[in-house]
Every structure is written in C-alpha cells, then in structure tokens.
Structure 1
Amino acid sequence: MVTLLEGGAYLVNGTQIIPDNQDAAARIAAETGRQVTKEEAAKETIAYGILESHNTSGNMDNLKIKFDKLTSHDITFVGIIQTARASGLTKFPIPYVLTNCHNSLCAVGGTINEDDHLFGLTCAKKYGGVYVPPHQAVIHQFAREMLAGGGRMILGSDSHTRYGALGTMAMGEGGPELVKQLLNQTYDIKMPGVVAVYLTGEPVRGVGPQDVALAVIGAVFGNGYVKNKVMEFVGPGVEKLSADFRIGIDVMTTETTCLSSIWKTDREIEEFYEIHGRKEEYKELNPGNVAYYDGLVTVDLSAIRPMIAMPFHPSNTYTIEELNANLDDILCDVEKKAQVSLDGAVNYSLHDKVRNGKFHVDQGIIAGCAGGGFENICAAADILKGQYIGADEFTLSVYPASMPIYMELIKNGCAATIMETGAVMKTAFCGPCFGAGDTPANNGFSIRHSTRNFPNREGSKLQNGQIASVALMDARSIAATAANKGVLTPATEFDATLGKYKYHFDSKIYANRVFDSKGVADPEVEIHFGPNIKDWPAMCELPENLVLRVVSEIHDPVTTTDELIPSGETSSYRSNPLGLAEFTLSRKDPAYVGLAKDIQTAQTAVMKGKCPLEAKPELKPVMETIHTRFPEAGEGNIGFGSTIFAVKPGDGSAREQAASCQKVLGGWANIATEYATKRYRSNLINWGMLPFLIEEGPLPFTNKDYLFIPGIRKAVEEAQDTITAYTVTPEGLTPFPLTLGDLTKEERQIILDGCLINYNRVK
C-alpha cells in the first residue's frame, strides 16, 4: 500500500521517479536533454516556490515568513490576543479569523465560555478581525470555505491547520507564533526538507480518505520519515480524488509530525473555489519539469483497504480485515501498549468486546475537520440507507463541519436518511476530537472519524479511575459498523451503492451571522472581559545561574500535549493562566503541580527582593553544596525553578498551554532526548523556557533531584554548543552535558528576556 524510498528522488515531468543515485544525472539528461543540479531541482518543488514568495530574509536557508492570514479557535484566541495586547497590539495587520468551535457546548465553569466568545467578538470589532459564532463552522472547514487560496500561506493556532489540498501551505503553531505575526514579526525556520507523496491508482468502493491517511501515518510516524518536513502530494493518483477526499487525507498529515503539506492542483480544485464563490483564489500548482525531493512516499490507492488506528495513537494502524482475522493477538498487543500509555493506573481490556468471535464497539462518531465533510457524510448516509443502528448500547453521532454543509445535507435528504436510522445529527463542534463531548461509558470503545485517539482524548479521567478508548476509522466503515449494530465491519464488505452528490454552497449563512470587519478596526470598542479572563503573571529575565528541581520524570516513548495539559473540560479555564495551570500533568503526574509550586516559592522571593533560602529553607544545603565549587553564585545572579524530563514530549496539539502552564508555575526548562514536534519546542522558547536536549541513556538525575546550571545566561548569549549542568547531592556536584539545539538570534533573545511578552516590551 505504502512504500518509502531510502534517500532522495527526482520527479521528472510530474510522472517519472528517478532515485538519487550515481545514475540519476545521466537519466535526467536523457529524459530532458539538459543537465540539472540537485540544488536547481530542489527549487522546482511547489513548496519551495510558496516559501520563497513569503520569505522576507532574502536567504532561503534561513526563512523569515510572513503569512497571508491567521486563524484561531476559542481555546487559544484569548491567550493570543492578551499576549499581543501586553506587547502593544493596536490593530490586526492581516486578516485574523476567530472561530468558536472547541468549547461551544462545554458547560464547565459557568459563564466562562460565553464570556470568552464575547471577548472574541469585541476584539474582532476593536482590532479589525472576523468572528465566527459557535455552531457555525469548525475552524478548518471555515478556513477551507472562506480563507484558503492558491499559493497562499495561513498560520493557525491549531495543529490541524492544513489546507494543502486547496493549494494553500498552512501551518499549525502555538499562540506566540501568531502573536509575532500580529506584531509584524516573522515565523523563523530553516528551509525544511520536502518529501514527495506520490499517489497512483484509484481507491476501491468503500475506501475513504481516512483509510489512506491512516495507512500513510502508520508507515511514516514511527521512523520520523517526514518529521518537520513538507509533504508534497503529486502523481497521477491525485486526479482520481475529489476535493473532499484530498482534504480528508491532507488534514491528517499533522499526525505524521510533518511541518506542512501542499498538493498539486487541477480542475477539481478550481471547481471547489467556483462552488464557494471564490474562483479568483484558484491557482494551478505543479512541480517543475525536474523537481528534487528529500524523500519519496509512494501510495498505491487501489491497494488501500479500510483501516483502523487502535488506541492510543493514530499510527497504531491495521486493516480492519487484519484486525478481525487476528483479534486475540492484536488486542493483546494493544492492551500491553496501553499499560505503558496509562502507567498501569487502571485495568484496561478489549477482550470483553469480543462476542462470538466478533468485535463489538459501543459508539460511532463522524465529526470535525476530518470526518464532518460533505462527501463523508453523504457516503455514510448511503451505507446506512434502509438500516437502523438498533436499540442497544451502540450510538452514532454525526457532526457536519459547517452549517452550509448541514444545510446541503438537509436539502439532499442525507440528514433525514441518517436520522431515520436512530443516529443523531449535531451542529459543528470539535468536542469529540478532544474530549469535550460524547464521552463513552467506562470501558467504552468508540470508533471515530476524527483526528486523534490519544489517552483520555475521548474525555475519560484516569485520576477518577475511568477509562474509555477511541479507534480512528473512516466514516464509511463507521457507517457499515453502525448498520451492523456495532459489529466492526469494513465498508468494503457492506453492500451499498455510493452515490455522487453535487454540493451547493450557500454563502448567505455566513453573510447573515459571521461578523467581518473587512479589516477596519474600531478603537472605541470596549473589550468584554469575563471574571475568568486574567492577564499573564509577571515573568523575569533569564538569570546568570539557575537552580532547577526536577519535578516530573516521564519515560513513555512519546508524551502528548494532552498529557502535559489535558484537553476537554479543563480547557474552559484556558483564559486564566494560573487557573488552567492547576491542571498541568494532572492525568499523567498528579504530584507535579505541588512540587512545581514548592520550588517556585524561592523564585517568587527573589522577584520580591527577599531571601529565597528563608522562603524555602530546604535550599540551604543545596546552596552550600553549590558554593563548594561556585562560591560566587548567590544573591542577584541566581534563579530558582522547575524542570521536567520526558523522552519525547510535545506530540499532538499546538496549544501553547502545554508550555505556558509550566512557565506560570515556575518552569524554566524541559529536558528531553528529542522533541516530538517543532511547535512544542517553539512554545517552550516563546515562553522563555530552555529546550534542553540530553543524550539517550541512563539519566544523571532522578525525580526531585536539584540541578545547578552555572553561566546559563552567558551560554545562551554566546550560543554555546554544550552546557555543563550539575546534579546536586549531599555527596557533591556531578557534571553532565546538555545542549539547546539550533536557536535563532531572536529565539535566544526571547529566552534571555524571559518570554515573548518581555521580548516585545524590551523592543
């Protein structure tokens, strides 16, 4: 189904693949009649052209990108705007869309959610933005319908900001990166590698975009094949896919840990823009005659079969046929992996879902930016036609991704078909994707056409002894399973005719409800502040020396942002930095918050001009040990705080809170062997936290140990390659090396100033 090429490759005339070996130059010359260097060919990718047109540095090795548009949802936009306001914001310099699709139905916290929504509306008026009310559209569907454009770039504060199928290179990052754009600063990265995803063949009946996406994720996630690179979709198979199908694959590229994505475009995409009344935004995009790629993923679409990503990661993939044929072995393997993901905190078993040799699921959901598309829901309706889901425990909920899609489903009868089965149609909402809606019963198993299935992503709480789990599947196979009363069934085995439905976009829905300032700011508007909307606490600059206490030690292979700061109902407190911070690591390490606050008392004393040792007497022997070798470390040149160790933190969401919550609790650093995503590392940096790297192997410290890092400020200023840290024990100081990886000049200064807010105030 999916194969990976070892090394780079050339794509000639969009169809011929030539591996990068000693024969490549001769073969290219024979095909084209000219000599082409690798450097020249690398400039012929679609990605290179878009990045070049948005780069302001004049140096394509070190990019400084300015985006065309920005977008955020209601978990992130309050913090972003508050940060920008603290840094001198007076007007949104480019179109900025604020959607309200994440906490629309979350009732936790009283007036909190609607207060934040009104904050967004008044800020859109005051600063000249666009405000999309709750239930109108999920963030990414609105962006597809109203923002995307050929050759454009969009930055969003949600990790699934992906509009490559429409010819738009989009990236999901933490809020501080949007703050930089709002302050006319740039997105700074080294030129990323570009990997071709070469599509051939055509999907068989019953196979949908999620099946293709999961097959690709399963092939590339574990080996990091596309990590922090751009995935460029090319090949003859592209033209066999509808716009909706391409979009459904594209949105899931986030789960590969790639930086962004882009597709070649054609008449199918031009028609998408025409349908949405924005024909002028279409641009034909193709790689040059000879384009060089840093890697090649070949996907035979005709070989893809219905897939399932078992708990607890989108890369834990099998074909549904393979799972059904090897239930005992695969379920044992999933249960064994679960004990690592869940730290053995609860008993987790899937074998009780097997009855008479068949796997039974408890819930189906088709929702959000991945599953809520028009074609997905129409296909589900066709499969469900004339069926019913039964009156037992199995339930099915369907969330169209936007109100225009919902209206068209009503007009063409698909909504009625679905509701006749006993399924429920709901409004546009991202809740099922991050644990704010449709939480199954304890030990429940949910199949979802959504984006993620991390632990607790469905809303259960380990700390309360609850466990439920999610498997990712395509809408078509979810419908087939629903029609089979919850027995896991691939859509290829279900006898149904899948029709082709013409989509008609009704722009009146948005015209009548969405607030669009047309870029005109009104400084006289008063911002609505609810009682939960709080300013960021004061943060000091990086001191000359640091004493850190390790307050959490995580040895899971990967730590997700949901484990660092849980999503779901906790997100109601997203506009209150200190309130939200109380939930930090709560589902992974409940002792973290107390330990972080404990060492923070010393830094609080320093910031108030008081003695840290009086605030925290436990530090006296620590400082005595440090003074045996560094007698100069003391008043006026030392700071105190916390750090965590995790093997590979930051997979998943772009939510900056995964870093900022550590910061407001006194976090100065993370220590990791690798960072799962660029966006999490960027969040650390933008909140003034040191993204330390340590070599794999036995750690020179354990949880609750104290570390001393002398001369850390000088090390950052001088971009030192290696930093010597010390474990502080009663026996003395034990040195060990740390590194910080590549940091731009601006990133080093942000860390030195203590955070992006301070950096901009200093500027």
Structure 2
Amino acid sequence: MSGMTMSQKILAAHAGLDHVEAGQLIEADLDLVLGNDITSPVAINEMAKFTKSGVFDKDKIALVPDHFVPNKDIKSAENCKCVREFAIKNNITNYFEVGQMGIEHALLPEQGLTLPGNLIIGADSHTCTYGAVGAFSTGIGSTDMAAGMATGKAWFKVPSAIKFNIVGKPSKWVSGKDVILHIIGMIGVDGALYKSMEFVGEGIKNLTMDDRLTIANMAIEAGGKNGIFPVDDITIEYLKEHAPGKEYKVFEADTDAQYDEEYTIDLSTLKSTVAYPHLPENTKTFDEIEDIKIDQVVIGSCTNGRIGDLRAAAEVLKGRKVAPGVRCIVIPGTQNIYLQAMEEGLLRTFIEAGAIVSTPTCGPCLGGHMGVLASKERCVSTTNRNFVGRMGAIDSEIYLASPAVAAASAATGKLSQPSELGL
C-alpha cells in the first residue's frame, strides 16, 4: 500500500478511514461550507425541496455576498436579500454583508475560519485558495452546497497529485502571481485536471502568505481539484494573528506518496509573467512582449487584493501618475485590508496617482460592475481569468498580471514592468 499525499490524508481523516487511494469515492465530514450572493440563492432554493429543514451547524457555514455588492441592480439586491433572510432564519454565525464583508477568499482566512487540516467546500471555483494554510478546499456546485449545508457531508473522488518542488528565492518584483502564471503556462489550463497541486520545497520559505494564497487560488486555472501548501513557520505566524487559540491538525505527505508528475520551480529564474487573451495558459515574459496600449487596469480580486498586493502596487505608483486615457481601479480585498491600506498611506498614493479605490467587491473580475469593458478595450488585471467576454464586451481583451506589473502598466499606458520605470 503506497503512502498518501497531504490532500489524501486530510480526506481520509474526514472520511474516518485509515487509507484512501486516488480515484476512490468517499463521503467525508465538512469543516466549512461557503457560498456567495450568486451561488447561495440556488443552494437555498434547493434546500427548500429537502425533507430535512435547517442547517447542520450554524457555525460551519459562511455566507459572503461579494460578487455584485454593493448591489448593482434589482436582481443582485434580490439575491442578497435571499441570502440575508436565510442567514437570519438559520442564525448563521459567519454571515458577512456590506460593512463587514470582503471578497470571500480574502475574508475567510483573515477571519481565521480556514485552518490547517480542514476540509472545506465552497460554491465558488476559487475556494481552492485555502490550501495556502494547509486545508483541503475545493469548489463545488450549488446543489452540493445545499447538501453540505443540510448534512455537513460531501462526496469526493480522491484526487491523484502533482508535486511542485519550489526552490530558490524570487527577485524583487516577482510574486506569487508570477509563480502560478508560470506554472499554468508550463502545464496548461487542463494540466492538473482533477488533481491536487501540492507545493513543497525549501523555496516555500521565500513565499509570503499572500503569495501562497494567490498560488493556491489559481490552482483551478490549471484544472486542479485543489492546491495545497505544507504548514510551516509562516503559516503558524499567520494563524497566531488571524486564528488565535484555535485548534487545528497538521497533515504531512508520506515520504512514499505517489505523484503523477513532479516539477521543480526555481524562483530565482522566474520573470514578471503576463497571461495574454484569452486563456491563463497563454503566458509571456517581457522579453517576448510588444507595445500593447491599454485602457484600464484593475488591481484587486480574490487573487490579488491583499495588503501585500496593494503595497507592491503603491510602491510602483508612488510619486507617479496614471497615464492619460487609462482608468486604474484599486479594490482592497476586505474592510481590514482597506483600513490597513489607509493607515499605511497606500490609498493616498493611489488617489494622488489618479487611480480610484473601491469598497471590497469582486466587481469587474467577472464583468459584474465597477469596471466593465467596452468593445475592443484592453485591461491589465490582477484577477484570475481572461476568457472571452469575462470582463465585458466579447471583443475586449484581458491581460492577467501581478500587482506590480498592473501598476507599472497604469503609469505608462501600455503593458509594462516596473523596470521600465527605473524600479
């Protein structure tokens, strides 16, 4: 019997089994079920058909209206009303609306709701973010969310795994976004289809928690079932700050765990990376990039709206102006990040540069609001997807990049990296 990966160990423990194999079907107990303002109403309507009324545990459900919030139209207002009424009726502890809310995948780790060893499902594909803290977390459909809220259980097919051995130290402007874009460019958008992307190696100590959250967040963009990092000193420090006193269990992969493939990623060789339209795998580095004039820059989202991201963007924009004809939209991931950015003077930097700062929202990432693109417009965005029509008009173009590259592009009016500004 071969050893288990970190993800397999978490699944086995939650299924009450000593051992699981890739491909095995299991039913497992859930630590957290997540939904937002788009996916929760569907799940809530499904629950109305169940014989069982109510939720399995009011403390283990998180409802975060974040996609079309503050409400952009009547339909989004009705969706949020549905979620609000359900949260009140079921006395849901972790309901976060305007004023407390943030972008769900930035908010839940910050609130200490995602812990090492947890098994988490969310009716949002980027639920894989929480692997950054050593949890098994994955996106599911709204009907699975409904069953999860009612029973506290879900079915899983145990994934096989790909091992990414991270070595070296990244250069100044290379961040977690560049790491994951490099990987997706290398293996493709289906390169990890239904597999666990497990990140290990001595280079991990050179990745901040914000970097890790970004990398795990975009595991789904490589087709991954989940992305996961081991628990180390950086994780423990993060948990001391965000989940003080909470108990958790650390799982480690067996030395003889089986992996379908193994890759080594040397951080010291990575360069600023951009995903061209219309797939995250369509990556280029700046030695391959021609002049591309842009209309809009978005710095934010569940991928890159954290304080480290805003600091990088502000460092690039400090003392500079957004280029004429460019709209630069900055969206802090949560209220706490907004406040921290304000106290550090980052918001002043953005506003003096000619950018705007929004309340936390998913907004433009999915073509929702706060920056929808018109025909033939080009946007450099720190979000996670650049599919056709993702941010608006079907003939608009999205270039995915790090906050540093997005900020540099805002300053020059074309796709640029910080070194072009002498940084």
2:350 aligned residue: 418
2:178 aligned residue: 211
Equivalent residues of 1:57, 1:63 under 8 A apart: no
Deviates more, 1:189-198 or 1:380-389: 189-198
State whether structure 2 residue 368 is matched by structure 1 residue 436: yes
Equivalent residues of 1:124, 1:131 under 8 A apart: yes
Equivalent residues of 1:92, 1:182 under 8 A apart: yes
CA distance in structure 2 between the aligned counterparts of 1:440 and 1:107, rounded to whole angstroms: 16
Using the TM superposition, give the Cα deviation of residue 254 of structure 1 relative to its aligned residue in structure 2, in angstroms. 0.9
Q: Counterparts in 2 of 1:502-651, with a 5 A limit?
A: none
CA deviation profile, 1:33-53 (whole Å, cap 9, x unmatched): xxxxxx33x32x212211111
Structure 1 residues 481, 272: closer, same or farther in 2, change over 3 A?
same
CA distance in structure 1 between the aligned counterparts of 2:313 and 2:155, rounded to whole angstroms: 42
Equivalent in 2, 7, 10 of residue 50 of structure 1: 10
State whether structure 2 residue 198 is matched by structure 1 residue 253: no
Deviates more, 1:179-188 or 1:362-371: 179-188
Using the TM superposition, give the Cα deviation of residue 493 of structure 1 relative to its aligned residue in structure 2, in angstroms. 4.1
CA distance in structure 1 between the aligned counterparts of 2:222 and 2:188, rounded to whole angstroms: 5
Where 1:87 maps in the other structure, the secondary structure is coil
Structure 1 residues 105, 393: closer, same or farther in 2, change over 3 A?
farther
Using the TM superposition, give the Cα deviation of residue 244 of structure 1 relative to its aligned residue in structure 2, in angstroms. 0.8
CA deviation profile, 1:125-159 (whole Å, cap 9, x unmatched): 22232321136201111221221001001100000
CA distance in structure 2 between the aligned counterparts of 1:281 and 1:413, rounded to whole angstroms: 35
Equivalent in 33, 44, 64 of residue 70 of structure 1: 33
Using the TM superposition, give the Cα deviation of residue 489 of structure 1 relative to its aligned residue in structure 2, in angstroms. 1.1
Q: Which amino acid aligns with 1:366?
A: I
1:650 aligned residue: none
CA distance in structure 2 between the aligned counterparts of 1:247 and 1:285, rounded to whole angstroms: 18
State whether structure 2 residue 404 is matched by structure 1 residue 476: yes
CA deviation profile, 1:371-409 (whole Å, cap 9, x unmatched): 10110110110111110113x211111100000000000
Where 1:128 maps in the other structure, the secondary structure is coil
Equivalent residues of 2:191, 2:223 under 8 A apart: no
Equivalent in 168, 173, 181 of residue 201 of structure 1: 168
Structure 1 residues 221, 412: closer, same or farther in 2, change over 3 A?
same
State whether structure 2 residue 386 is matched by structure 1 residue 459: no
2:422 aligned residue: 495
Using the TM superposition, give the Cα deviation of residue 183 of structure 1 relative to its aligned residue in structure 2, in angstroms. 3.0
Equivalent residues of 2:132, 2:228 under 8 A apart: yes
CA distance in structure 1 between the aligned counterparts of 2:419 and 2:220, rounded to whole angstroms: 27
Using the TM superposition, give the Cα deviation of residue 197 of structure 1 relative to its aligned residue in structure 2, in angstroms. 1.1
Runs of 4+ in 1 over 6 A off after TM superposition: none
Structure 1 residues 367, 302: closer, same or farther in 2, change over 3 A?
same
CA deviation profile, 1:289-315 (whole Å, cap 9, x unmatched): 443322212211111111111111111
Where 1:107 maps in the other structure, the secondary structure is coil
Where 1:419 maps in the other structure, the secondary structure is helix
1:98 aligned residue: 63
CA distance in structure 2 between the aligned counterparts of 1:425 and 1:227, rounded to whole angstroms: 36
1:170 aligned residue: 137
Where 1:161 maps in the other structure, the secondary structure is helix
CA distance in structure 2 between the aligned counterparts of 1:88 and 1:359, rounded to whole angstroms: 57
Using the TM superposition, give the Cα deviation of residue 282 of structure 1 relative to its aligned residue in structure 2, in angstroms. 5.4
State whether structure 2 residue 104 is matched by structure 1 residue 139: yes
Using the TM superposition, give the Cα deviation of residue 230 of structure 1 relative to its aligned residue in structure 2, in angstroms. 0.6
Structure 1 residues 89, 494: closer, same or farther in 2, change over 3 A?
farther
Equivalent residues of 1:157, 1:173 under 8 A apart: yes
Using the TM superposition, give the Cα deviation of residue 77 of structure 1 relative to its aligned residue in structure 2, in angstroms. 0.6
Equivalent residues of 1:159, 1:254 under 8 A apart: yes
Q: Which amino acid aligns with 2:397?
A: S
Normalising by structure 1, we get a TM-score of 0.52
CA deviation profile, 1:67-109 (whole Å, cap 9, x unmatched): 111110000111101101211342211311111111114534x
1:287 aligned residue: 253
Using the TM superposition, give the Cα deviation of residue 118 of structure 1 relative to its aligned residue in structure 2, in angstroms. 2.5
Normalising by structure 2, we get a TM-score of 0.93
CA deviation profile, 1:711-730 (whole Å, cap 9, x unmatched): xxxxxxxxxxxxxxxxxxxx
Structure 1 runs not aligned, ≥5 long: 1-38, 325-357, 497-763
Equivalent residues of 1:306, 1:492 under 8 A apart: no
Using the TM superposition, give the Cα deviation of residue 211 of structure 1 relative to its aligned residue in structure 2, in angstroms. 1.0
Structure 1 residues 492, 138: closer, same or farther in 2, change over 3 A?
same
Where 2:193 maps in the other structure, the secondary structure is coil
State whether structure 2 residue 281 is matched by structure 1 residue 310: no
CA deviation profile, 1:597-626 (whole Å, cap 9, x unmatched): xxxxxxxxxxxxxxxxxxxxxxxxxxxxxx
Identity %: 28
Equivalent in 369, 376, 388 of residue 302 of structure 2: 369
Equivalent in 182, 205, 220 of residue 187 of structure 2: 220
Using the TM superposition, give the Cα deviation of residue 207 of structure 1 relative to its aligned residue in structure 2, in angstroms. 1.1
Using the TM superposition, give the Cα deviation of residue 481 of structure 1 relative to its aligned residue in structure 2, in angstroms. 1.5
Q: Which amino acid aligns with 2:422?
A: D
Structure 1 residues 215, 240: closer, same or farther in 2, change over 3 A?
same
CA distance in structure 2 between the aligned counterparts of 1:152 and 1:143, rounded to whole angstroms: 13
Equivalent in 67, 81, 84 of residue 118 of structure 1: 81
Equivalent residues of 2:9, 2:19 under 8 A apart: no
Where 2:398 maps in the other structure, the secondary structure is strand
Using the TM superposition, give the Cα deviation of residue 185 of structure 1 relative to its aligned residue in structure 2, in angstroms. 6.8
Where 2:279 maps in the other structure, the secondary structure is coil
Structure 1 residues 405, 281: closer, same or farther in 2, change over 3 A?
farther
CA distance in structure 2 between the aligned counterparts of 1:280 and 1:67, rounded to whole angstroms: 17
Q: Counterparts in 2 of 1:174-189, with a 5 A limit?
A: 174-184=141-151, 186-189=153-156
Equivalent residues of 1:151, 1:283 under 8 A apart: yes
Q: Which has the higher contact order (CA 8 A, sep 6+)?
A: 2
Q: Which amino acid aligns with 2:403?
A: A
CA distance in structure 1 between the aligned counterparts of 2:349 and 2:248, rounded to whole angstroms: 34
Where 1:293 maps in the other structure, the secondary structure is coil
Equivalent residues of 1:90, 1:127 under 8 A apart: no
Q: Which amino acid aligns with 2:303?
A: A
Equivalent in 90, 99, 118 of residue 152 of structure 1: 118
Q: How many residues align?
A: 413
Using the TM superposition, give the Cα deviation of residue 56 of structure 1 relative to its aligned residue in structure 2, in angstroms. 4.7
1:319 aligned residue: 285
Using the TM superposition, give the Cα deviation of residue 284 of structure 1 relative to its aligned residue in structure 2, in angstroms. 4.4
CA distance in structure 2 between the aligned counterparts of 1:116 and 1:295, rounded to whole angstroms: 42
